[in-house]
Amino acid sequence: MLINMKPIIALATSPIKSAIHMIRISGDNCFNIVNKFFSINILKDKKRTVHVGCIKNNNKLIDQVVVITYKNPHSYTGEDSIEIMTHGNILIDKEIISLFIKNGMRMATNGEFTMRAYLNKKIDIIQAEAINDLINATTNEAKNIITYALNGETSKLIKPIKTQILDLISNIEVNIDYPEYKDIEVVTYKKINKELKDIKNKIDKLIINGEQGLIIKEGIKVAIIGKPNVGKSTLLNALIKEDKAIVTNIPGTTRDIVEGDLQIGGIPIHLLDTAGIRLSKNKIESIGVNKTLKAIKDADLIIYVKDKVNNEKIVNLNNKNVIEVINKSDLIKNKDNKHLYISAKKKNINALITKIKKVVGISDVAFNHPCLANARELALLKRINKSIDETLIELKKKTPLDLLMVHIDEILNLILEILGESNTTDLSKEIFSRFCVGK
Ligand SMILES: Nc1nc2c(ncn2[C@@H]2O[C@H](COP(=O)(O)OP(=O)(O)O)[C@@H](O)[C@H]2O)c(=O)[nH]1
Ligand SMILES: [Mg+2]
């Protein structure tokens, strides 16, 4: 059932000068409001229509436009909706938007069109999040996996698990209602144990897949560290194929973090070139060193650059993924086969790229299938498994079925939360605030 919604309006395209802009409108009575100022009578009963005409206020032409109408429920939001294509000038858009606001519409908030689509059950929460992810995707690989979420393939990963737990719950409830059959209860405990373990296995697989998907979507942070003058900045430049970081033979040149982005095997890599770590009396250089320490803390992977084989340890790198490389290989005569040699200056860095692929787990076979790959979904999947573990402990203790149900209900709720089917007001506010206006 559609919820009664005041019409909202927003510019859906970017406000910069371009051939065409699009203003989006959705909500009750929006056909009537637009009709007052549009030269053509909108056909309100048609599923979808396209009209070419003029928007006028008191006979003053604002713009010649194309108007597309969508009768509910045949729209993105599920409500009556209109899209107005204007000549791409923000002054025209502003005039039209303020005219309609004066006549009963209001500015849409971030993501409000998509939120309405969700509230009207046109899409589930996984699809809603996918729409925002799609807008923000920076690689083809990310775009591919998000498309699965958009067309509902990703939701299908979790829906059978929802059915499985619902079946289990109804089975237990029957036994709570008919407690006189003791042997049924024994069977029930065994069955709960088996089903929960099966669900946990499935969730484990979803977590592994989702974490890989998350890397593909959001990439990883890689910090290049090492002593001054070993060639860190030269390496950043070689990796991103441009001269972004200043390279000199004066140790201590890089004081601030220089950042650069590239892709390796379709994975976005965010590189940080750091100040070389050494104790310095120079205040600016020591601030740079502190920033380096922070970059190390935040990085998913460290490239530790040296210019000769030695045992130096410049900083504690425990619990970090570290790739050690020996740079300036063009100056090194006797190379062993225990170390990874590169020459940043000669752009001879393939060995390092191969190693990065290996450490990050990028296979040559592209990762291209649906997965629950955003932080919210992954956090919920982990909570489900924790909840299952707790329930399995209760099960061992032969906790009475009605008390056990409290735990199993919690598992169900978490599953529903992934799909946005549980109590979702706060959740949806949080999710949609990350969208842009007009989406
Ligand atoms: N021969 C040689 N010199 C290099 C190589 N990489 C960097 N250098 C030189 O080493 C010096 C320091 O480089 P830079 O990138 O600023 O080092 P950083 O202080 O670690 O950032 C510069 O003169 C570079 O040209 C390399 O592979 N071979
Ligand atoms: Mg440098």
Is 227 touching ligand 1 by the criterion CB < 6 Å? no
One domain, residues 344 and 230:
yes
Ligand found nearest the CA of 328: 1
Report the b/e string of 336-369 with b at 16+ CB within 10 A: eeebbbbbbbeeebeebeebbeeebebeeeebee
One domain, residues 202 and 228:
no
One domain, residues 198 and 301:
no
Is 254 touching ligand 1 by the criterion CB < 6 Å? yes
* CA of residue 362 to ligand 2 center, whole Å: 28
One domain, residues 15 and 84:
yes
pLDDT at position 420 is 86
Q: What is the pLDDT along the chain (439 residues), one digit of tens a residue?
A: 445 689 999 999 999 999 999 999 999 999 999 999 999 998 888 999 999 999 999 999 999 999 999 999 999 999 999 999 999 999 999 999 999 999 999 999 999 999 999 999 999 999 999 999 999 898 888 899 999 999 999 999 999 999 999 989 888 887 777 666 665 656 678 889 999 999 999 999 999 999 888 988 888 999 999 988 999 999 999 999 988 777 777 766 666 778 899 988 888 899 999 877 665 566 666 666 778 888 888 999 999 999 999 888 878 888 889 999 999 999 999 899 999 999 999 999 999 999 998 888 766 556 788 999 988 999 999 999 999 999 999 999 999 888 999 999 999 999 999 998 876 556 566 677 777 777 8
Is 253 touching ligand 1 by the criterion CB < 6 Å? yes
DSSP state of 109: P
* CA of residue 291 to ligand 2 center, whole Å: 13
One domain, residues 151 and 274:
no
One domain, residues 322 and 298:
yes
Is 292 touching ligand 1 by the criterion CB < 6 Å? no
User: CA 371, CA 208: separation in Å to the nearest integer?
Assistant: 9
Ligand 1 nearest atom to the CA of residue 251, by list position:
19
Residue range of the domain that includes 273: 220-360
In 16-105, where does DSSP find H-type helix? 30-37, 90-102
* CA of residue 282 to ligand 1 center, whole Å: 21
Please state, in angstroms and as integers, the Cα–Cα distance from residue 355 to each residue in 218, 247, 262, 268, following that order.
Answer: 20, 24, 16, 16
One domain, residues 304 and 239:
yes
List the CATH number of the domain containing 161: 1.20.120.430
Boundary residue ending a domain (65, 91, 124): 124
DSSP state of 69: E
* CA of residue 343 to ligand 1 center, whole Å: 9
List the CATH number of the domain containing 24: 3.30.1360.120
The total number of structural domains in the chain stands at 3
Is 330 touching ligand 1 by the criterion CB < 6 Å? yes
One domain, residues 177 and 111:
no
Is 288 touching ligand 1 by the criterion CB < 6 Å? no
pLDDT at position 161 is 96
**Hey, what are 253's tokens?**
């040149």
Ligand 1 nearest atom to the CA of residue 346, by list position:
27
Cα angle for residues 203, 157, 392 (degrees, 5° grid) = 25
pLDDT at position 258 is 84
One domain, residues 271 and 239:
yes
User: CA 371, CA 155: separation in Å to the nearest integer?
Assistant: 9
Q: Is residue 427 part of a domain?
A: no
Angle between helices 140-150 and 125-136 (to 10 degrees): 160
pTM exceeding 0.85 = no
pLDDT at position 2 is 47
Boundary residue ending a domain (124, 154, 170): 124
Is 237 touching ligand 1 by the criterion CB < 6 Å? no
* CA of residue 139 to ligand 2 center, whole Å: 28
Is 188 touching ligand 1 by the criterion CB < 6 Å? no
